[in-house]
Amino acid sequence: MANLKNPIITLPFDSFQANASATQQQSYIEHLEHGGVLFLPNLGFNLLPDEQRFLSPDWSDGKAKNIYLRGNERSIRGAQGSPNDLTAMSQLIERYALSAKQLIQHLLPSYADFAKPANTSLRSIEAEGRKTSWRKDDSRLHADSFPSKPTHGERILRVFTNVNPDNKPRVWKIGEPFSDMVAKFIQKVPRYSKTQSKLMYLLGITKTMRGEYDHTMLHLHDLAKADLDYQLNAPQMTFEFPANSSWIVYSDQVLHAVLSGQYMMEQTLHLPQKKLAYPESSPQQLIAKILKRTIHS
Ligand code: SIN
Ligand code: FE
């Protein structure tokens, strides 16, 4: 396994209302948009005494991977419990959504007005040894792309906090720069078909019609996960995110995999291409550069 230059920078803040200077804010944007990770080892998220009980896999409905609130819909999904329990779980997840929003406002204020909140989740299932198909197996290196949810070029920005009460880290692998992965697999991506995308939309397989960008991203996701030689031998590093730490990544760009860990909170945000400070470093533009042609959203 080849080694990798460390893509992680460490930020000192211990509050979601982090007091970052304008220079720091600019450097964070630059780092993130070039495929870096912002790591906040001192930023934990406090659960109230009555919420500690939700740190158990028993609240999962056994079907969904996470307990979550979807975008601005505020009814809880993936959970089971009495109406009171479900309300209390919603409130916990809602409070994390608010904290993540504050963190974006303070660290990345140029995104704040444009970052659209998508899912907010509590991940209570131990990540190690989770049984799934290879395509859903997040212990394999991948850049995020979801079959039913085309982004049309919008970016997937994620805030994570390890809330493990027993000091257990969340262990990730972080892979090579996005372009290096693209160069290895792009020739194997089948040609985009608008007719097929229309059909998938009409059949309800996708929520909106999948464009060429999402088609390409999804195939890159699958090609990387399916290639065991790539999984073993591509440049990568292991990193442990300790309990009571947070981190921020563009998960559609940073090659990542989760090896182990339990109890994490996560906020997904979607950012329009137009609002990037370095659009030339976005997956869409990096793929276009390698193919020497435009990739349509
Ligand atoms: C992923 O986005 O691949 C999962 C990350 C995690 O659950 O730690
Ligand atoms: Fe992922």
Distance, CA 257 to ligand 1 centroid (Å)? 6
Task: Please check whether residue 297 lies inside any domain of the structure.
Answer: no
Overall domain count for the chain: 1
What does the CA dihedral 282, 288, 291, 292 come to, rounded to 10 degrees? -130
Task: Please check whether residue 154 lies inside any domain of the structure.
Answer: yes
Residues of the chain with pLDDT under 70: 1-4
28 vs 22: CA distance, rounded Å: 10
The per-residue pLDDT for range 108-135, each reduced to its tens digit, is 999 999 999 999 999 999 999 988 899 9
Q: What is the pLDDT of residue 275?
A: 97
Task: Please check whether residue 72 lies inside any domain of the structure.
Answer: yes
Q: What is the pLDDT of residue 5?
A: 77
CB burial of residue 122 (10 Å; 0-12, 13-18, 19+): buried
The ligand 1 atom at the shortest distance from the C-alpha of residue 142 is 3
Q: What is the pLDDT of residue 2?
A: 56
Q: What is the pLDDT of residue 3?
A: 60
Task: Please check whether residue 3 lies inside any domain of the structure.
Answer: no
Q: What is the pTM of this model?
A: 0.97
Q: Is the CB of 127 under 6 A from ligand 1?
A: yes
CB burial of residue 2 (10 Å; 0-12, 13-18, 19+): exposed
Q: What is the pLDDT of residue 6?
A: 84
The ligand 1 atom at the shortest distance from the C-alpha of residue 160 is 8
Which two tokens mark 125? 């299932």
Which CATH number fits the domain that encloses residue 193?
2.60.120
The ligand 1 atom at the shortest distance from the C-alpha of residue 251 is 2
Q: Is the CB of 215 under 6 A from ligand 1?
A: no
**Which range of residues forms the domain containing residue 107?**
8-291
Tell me how many helices (H) and strands (E) the chain has: 8, 10
Q: What is the pLDDT of residue 75?
A: 87
Question: Ion ligand 2 — residues with CB under 5 Å?
Answer: 144
Q: Is the CB of 123 under 6 A from ligand 1?
A: yes
Closest to 121 in 3D by CA, of 59, 168, 208, 167: 59
Q: Is the CB of 138 under 6 A from ligand 1?
A: yes
Q: Is the CB of 137 under 6 A from ligand 1?
A: no
Task: Please check whether residue 296 lies inside any domain of the structure.
Answer: no
72 vs 222: CA distance, rounded Å: 29
Task: Please check whether residue 2 lies inside any domain of the structure.
Answer: no
Closest to 252 in 3D by CA, of 197, 172, 192, 181: 181
Q: What is the pLDDT of residue 211?
A: 96
- Cα radius of gyration rounded to whole Å, the chain: 19
The per-residue pLDDT for range 125-163, each reduced to its tens digit, is 999 998 889 999 999 999 999 999 999 999 999 999 999
207 vs 289: CA distance, rounded Å: 28
Residues 71, 119: contact at Cβ < 8 Å?
Answer: yes
Q: Is the CB of 251 under 6 A from ligand 1?
A: yes
Q: What is the pLDDT of residue 4?
A: 67
Task: Please check whether residue 96 lies inside any domain of the structure.
Answer: yes
What does the CA dihedral 150, 211, 191, 289 come to, rounded to 10 degrees? -90
